[in-house]
A and B are shown apart, each in its own frame.
Chain A
Amino acid sequence: MLSAVEITKVFNKGTINEVVAIDSLTLHVNDGDFITVIGSNGAGKSSLLNLLAGTYIPDSGTITLAGEDITTWPEYRRATFIGRVFQNPFIGTCGSMTIEENLALAYRRGLPRRIRKGITEKDRTLFRDRLSILGLGLEHRLKDKVDVLSGGQRQCLTLLMATLRHPKILLLDEHTAALDPKTAEQVLKLTDQIISELKLTAIMVTHNMRQALSMGNRLIMMNRGKIIMDAQEKEKVKLTVQDLLEQFSRVRGKEFSEDRILLTD
């Protein structure tokens, strides 16, 4: 459904800080896939999501969605099909605006923004209904500003906003990394619940190998801007943390000891 073919992205080209973030990478995402992505720092996980979402345009290669070439589409246009949750809880929501205003913004994703009342009573009923799924009591706080919410609450709200209009694909960029372990666990559970209930296609970047193994139907390991492992369905079920560590040590060699610290849960 979503395909990236031989995409490459180089940052600071021609300077001493040149970094090849994504190196002629090819990825075909099938309808209904829930892909977890792991890799050490600088492997290109976030860059991959940013390229798919249109935050960056690739230097070469093509990206197609449902057969349509979207390689040069700006981010806001791709947002019609793509829902996103970021690592930083502050990026996904507008702090100075109320919960219902944030949801109203998300509810018009992919639709024209008209000079009409931004929130109707009908919208509010729907928002309350959807917010109750979170189990955080936010359905009673529609008019509270988002900046009084905790990081975890903001991530839950962002997740809800990203899926309020059914996205063709949901991109999660280490969306629990900035949260405390207990909250992270709740957000992950919610993520799993929403993805399976709405039958979404999703890509989730994570640092946590246990998470990567327990969630989704497909696992991708990245290193230096390339995909070095792509385990699907049955193959993924058999994988263990030990397998992943071994795979890492094979490709990373002596850098491995440093990565081990970053990767173990």
Chain B
Amino acid sequence: MTAYAFLGALEQGFVFGLMVLGVYITFRVLDFPDLTVDGTLPLGAAVSAALITHGINPIWSLIAALAAGCIAGSITAILATRLRIMSLLASIITMTGLYSINIRIMGRPNITLLNAPTIFEYFDFLGLPRHVVTVLLFLSLVLISKFLLDIFLYTELGLAIRATGDNPQMARSQGINTDRMIVIGVSISNGMVALSGALVAQSQGFADVGMGIGTIVAGLASIILGESLVGTQTVPRQTWSSVVGSVLYRIVIAIALSYQVGFLHLTPSDLNLVTAILVVLCLMVPFLREKFQRGK
């Protein structure tokens, strides 16, 4: 793998790290399997790209993307809590609806942002090459988000959200409105995913309605990969797992794409299979560890 490819993997790992932190909130904290993210990632990209092409400041477009993601997440959560639709199904419904909405927002299935202003222009004064700026910017953003999330999960509200995911009966008997906690948690999660999508669109120079496919699987793979290495003992460790897992996942993907195995040369279309195998390998780690220890 070349240094350039490695830098690219880091950039992707950091920017999708925001998405992974979002998935962590639903998947691990709330225990609410949420596939909405496959729709909110391109939603964020679509909102940001559409606003930028309409001459809106790219920073405002990021805030708008975040808000759009929160709204999409709250729709899923309201379907699941008020209408008592199974969470997985509720999220698939929203995700499906978002596909059409995303095309409406862009007016067509994709928008290119070549020569359009992006947030990276604000850092031109540093005199660094663009691909270094993106890596540094995304690294700072994902670390800030991680630490803010850590702090949030230890607030009164954060504790109530964690209790809702861990033990809803206990939460209710301690006076916690569990439905409201689910709405808040799923909204924040999807807001982060949409922000991640908006940043991806600005860095790769286009938004595409299909860019969200496999988001949830990549998110889960990253979390599981990170957890098997970093551990899950405390909240800060869990969020580290998400960030580290996200970077490792992108590096593994980059490595898989850069090597030729015999006559087989992997192409980007093989990524989903690589991801699937990776998830299985990660899930096998605790099982194999136990087996190995018993063997001794």
Among B157, B160, B175, contact of A110 (Cβ-Cβ < 8 Å): B175
Which residues of A are found within 8 Å of B172, using beta-carbon distances? 74-76, 79
**Which residues of B are interface residues toward A (Cβ below 8 A)?**
152, 154-160, 162-163, 166-167, 169-178
Q: Are B154 and A105 in contact (CB under 8 A)?
A: no
- Asked whether any CB of chain B lies closer than 8 Å to the CB of A113, the reply is yes
The secondary structure that dominates the B interface is: helix
Tell me whether A108 and B166 are in contact (CB under 8 A). no
Q: A-B pairs with CB below 8 Å: how many?
A: 89
User: Bound complex: CA of A79 vs CA of B163, how far in Å?
Assistant: 15
Residues of chain B within 8 A of A113, CB atoms compared: 156-157, 159-160, 176
Query: A56: shortest Cβ distance to chain B, in Å?
Result: 12
Is the beta-carbon distance between A79 and B170 smaller than 8 angstroms? no
B163, B170, B173 pick with most chain A CB within 10 angstroms: B173
Pair A91/B177 contact, Cβ less than 8 Å: no
CA distance A237 to B183 in the complex (A): 51
Contact surface of A with B, Cβ cutoff 8 Å? 53, 74-77, 79-80, 82, 84, 86, 90-97, 101, 104-106, 108-111, 113-119, 161-162
| A94→B170 contact, CB < 8 A | yes
Closest Cβ neighbor of A114 among chain B residues:
B156
Q: Are B156 and A108 in contact (CB under 8 A)?
A: yes
In the complex, A111→B171 CA distance in Å?
Answer: 13
CB neighbours (8 Å) of A162 from chain B are 173
Q: Are B173 and A114 in contact (CB under 8 A)?
A: no
Which 7 pairs from chain A and chain B are nearest by CB? A79-B175, A94-B166, A109-B175, A113-B160, A118-B159, A113-B156, A75-B172
Q: How many angstroms from the CA of A152 to the CA of B169 in the assembled complex? A: 19
Kindly list chain B residues whose C-beta atoms are within 8 Å of the C-beta of A93: 167, 170
Closest A residue to B160 using CB positions: A113
Q: Closest approach, in angstroms, between the C-beta of A92 and any C-beta of chain B?
A: 6
Are the C-beta atoms of A76 and B170 separated by less than 8 Å?
no
With a cutoff of 8 Å between Cβ atoms, the chain B residues found around residue A86 in the complex are: 169, 173
The CA-CA distance from A90 to B170 in the complex, in Å, is 9
Question: Are A105 and B155 interface neighbours, CB within 8 A?
Answer: no
B173 touches A84 (CB 8 A): yes
> What are 22 pairs between A and B in contact, CB < 8 Å?
A74-B172, A74-B177, A75-B172, A75-B173, A76-B178, A77-B177, A79-B174, A79-B175, A91-B170, A93-B167, A93-B170, A94-B167, A97-B159, A97-B162, A104-B156, A104-B159, A105-B171, A113-B159, A113-B160, A115-B156, A115-B157, A117-B154
